[in-house]
Amino acid sequence: MRRPLEGILVLEFAQYLAGPYAGLRLADLGARVIKIERPNGGDAGRKLATKHLFADGDSLVFHAINRNKESYAANLKDPHDLEKVRRLIGRADVMTHNFRPGVMEKIGLDYDAVRALNPRLVYGAVTGYGGTGPWVDKPGQDLLAQSMSGLTWLTGSEGDGPVPFGLAAADLLCGTHLAQGLLAALVRRGKTGRGGLVETSLIESLVDLQFEVLTTYLNDGGQLPVRAKHRNAHAYLGAPYGIYQTQDGWLAVAMGCLSTLGTLIGCDALIPFRDEHGDEFLMRNQVKTILARHFKTRPTQYWLGLLDVADYWCADVFNYGQLMNHAGYKVLGMDQVVRRPNGTSLRTLRCPIRIDGDRLYSEVAAPELGNANETLNASE
């Protein structure tokens, strides 16, 4: 299968997660993505480990987010190396970076400078908080951006204090947004022949993630979100929305009519509550407390048997082991194995996109530092 971005050359001056995540998606879609890395140590993400796990000297995080790429080692402070990189830029279709504002200007690889080298280039930049303003010099780090965005007041329950997402939500969303912008600019270039500048930031991505609830805030008189007291799942939605403990596990229940739910599960205590009166939100703490007591009386599968038949929205609550051993997960074919030339292999996940019915697998692991230097230098 020819992938949509075959023939597109991407130079990635990015490290850690947000910028490289955009490059990962472009590589999955067929682009040739070359990481420009420091000769001494490379992308700092090579040492950013989860659970202190490494493979072949690089962190699992680096392997996960840089598979299917190549690496070109260059000292951008060395005029000889910088000139080689400039020549690569002259051949490239896309260039990305996630340095703090001002860094690329000092090197001489800011957008205005490289546009003179290659007017067709699509240039993508990720920052923490934009290119101007009082936050411009703050570290663009995921937890810090989550904390400043208001997002931490949506997760957890009333009284918990601020609760961040348990993963790098800002980085991954921002990388997704950067990839979207780059693809749009490439489409425009195909029509006009003109490159362009694509910019986004961690804070903008997190604000956009909250567009639903921030729109509510902007139109309800500026009322701050109030989380439910019992197992809050969405600060702006009423009961029964949430996760409940059962006799032997957990059950997720989404939105639905309270009276219908009460009838289905035989909970007479729900009868006084009426959706048409707004009780599902105004009285959600009382309703959820009743449901919490009731769902504990029977096993999860008992409740699923009642609710699934009536098409009342509900689901199991899986851990990773339950998820990956379920037939529903296995049919997706998400797992793949990637390999380095030295035989090092690693289990990871494929791209979640399908093109013309085909899943996008690749066995190419994250690159060893400088693995493309010889090839690229010889091609000059």
Q: φ and ψ at 198, to 5 degrees?
A: -115, 125
In this prediction, the residues of the chain whose per-residue pLDDT falls under 50 are: none
Supply the pLDDT for residue 281: 93
DSSP 365: P
Supply the pLDDT for residue 32: 98
pLDDT in tens, 185-229: 999 999 999 999 999 999 999 999 999 999 999 999 999 999 999
Q: Token digits for 89? A: 């830029």
Angle between helices 18-28 and 169-192 (to 10 degrees): 50
* One-letter identity of residue 38: R
Angle between helices 169-192 and 142-149 (to 10 degrees): 90
| Cβ neighbours for 360, distance < 8 A, ≥ 6 positions apart | 3, 28, 29, 350, 351, 353, 354
Would you list the domain boundaries of the chain? 9-209+351-378
**Residue labelled with tokens 């303003």:** 133
Task: Identify the CATH assignment for 9-209+351-378 out of 3.90.45.10, 3.30.70.790, 3.40.50.10540, 3.50.50.60.
Answer: 3.40.50.10540
Residue 295 to residues 210, 266, 268, 306, Cα–Cα distance (Å): 31, 10, 13, 12
Supply the pLDDT for residue 158: 93
Supply the pLDDT for residue 239: 95
Predicted structure pTM score: 0.95
Percent of the chain with pLDDT over 90: 96
Supply the pLDDT for residue 276: 87
Catalytic residues: 171
Dist CA 188 CA 194 (whole Å): 7
Supply the pLDDT for residue 378: 85
Supply the pLDDT for residue 275: 87
Positive or negative, the CA dihedral 285, 291, 297, 299 is negative
Supply the pLDDT for residue 379: 78
Residue 273 to residues 243, 288, 291, Cα–Cα distance (Å): 20, 12, 12
Instruction: Decide: 164 and 155 in contact? Cβ < 8 Å.
Output: yes
DSSP H or E stretch at residue 32: strand 32-37
